[in-house]
A and B are shown apart, each in its own frame.
Chain A
C-alpha cells in the first residue's frame, strides 16, 4: 500500500464536502490529509469548461486534494465511488481521470 493523491473539482455547494468525507467513512477508506479551497485561477481547468460547454464563475467550484493510503484495486474503487457523487465534476489519481462520468486514462488534474 502506498500513499496516493486524489484531486477533485467539485461544485462549491453546501454539503458537497460532507458527501466526499462521508463516503470515505461509509466505505471504510481512510483519509490521511485533506485540503480544499475555491478555484480562482481557472486556466488549468479550461478543458473542463470546454468539455461541459460552460464558463465557471468565481466561487462556483472548489478544488479538493485528498491523500490516502490504499492498494491499487481499492484506489480504483474509491475513484469510481467519488465519480458517482453528483456534485463532483472531475476526479483523478496519478493514472486516470473521471471527467463528468467519463473515464480518461491520464491524470488531467
Chain B
C-alpha cells in the first residue's frame, strides 16, 4: 500500500475538497497556497511554530490514563489526550498560531475569523493580541446571544465581534460573512479558518497545524505504554481535532480511527448535526463534502447541544476517510454527551467540553465491549468551563 499523500495538488481528497469559490477569491487562495507550501518547510518558520506551541500554548499536552473511569466501565483502558490543558482551553490555538505566523510573513496586519461557540474566535483574538494584529470575528447573532461570556472574552482581547444576521444566524452564516469580508479586503487581510473545511489549501493547512496532536501522541504512547493505541476516538464537527489526531496514524492500518458526530435529539429526528452519518455529498464553503441538505440542495439548519459540532458540513478529508473505509463515523445524542460530561467530572475530576463529551460518550459505550488490555485514545479536545451555563440549564438550574 502506498503511503497516504492526500490531498493531491488540486486540493482533492478523492472526489472531495477542491476550490469551489468565486473567481474573485482564486488568486488570494493561490497566493496563500504558495506561501504556505514555502513556509511549511522553512526551518525558521517551523522553529518559531514549535517555540510558540511549547512556551505559549504549553505543549506537549499529556496523555492521561483515566484509570478510575476505565475500571468503572470494566473494559478497555481509556486514555485522554489533554488538549483541554492548552492555553485558551482547547485544540483551536494550535491552528490559530500557525495561521497567524503565516499571516505575519505575508505582511497581513488584519485577521478575520468565524466562530460558532466562540472557541475559535477566542483563539484567533488571542493570537491577534499576541502578535499585535487587528482582529474581526464574525459570529451568528443567535450564537452571540448563547455565548455571551466568550463574546466578552474576545472583546477583552481587543477583537471586534460582528454579529451576523443573515440566514440561520449561526456558524455557517458567520463563515459566509467572513468570506465576504475576505474577498473585499483581501489585500491587507488574512482569513483564519477554524477547521479543516473551506477551499484548498485550508483543509490541508489546518490539518498540518493540528497534526501536532497526533505526532505527540505517537511518541507519548511509546514512552508511556510501549505501544500504539488500538483505536483513536475524537468528536467531529468540522473535524480539526479529529484529523489532527488521526493524520499521523492514517498509514497504521491496525489503529482504528473513530469519529463521533453530534446526533442531537436523535439522527432519526431533524435536529442533529450528524453530517457523515446522514448527509449527502455536495458543495458548500469552497469544498465538496458531505452536507446536511434538503432534496433541493438547500442547506438545512442543524442542532447540537454543543455549538462547536453544530455545523451542516464536515471537512472533506473526513468525507474521503469515510468513503475509503479508513475511518468510521458514529453519532452520539445530546443526552449521551451530557451524561459523559457528568461522568468525567465525577470519576476523574476533569470537566470536558460538550464537544469532547461526544467522543467520551462513545468511548464509554465501546470500552466495555473490549478486553482490559486494549487501549482507546480519546481526544479531550477542550475543557468544559465554557459550557457550565448550558449544562446547568439542561439540569433545570440557572446560574
Answer yes or no: are A and B bound together in one complex: no
Interface residues of A (CB under 8 A from B): none
Interface residues of B (CB under 8 A from A): none
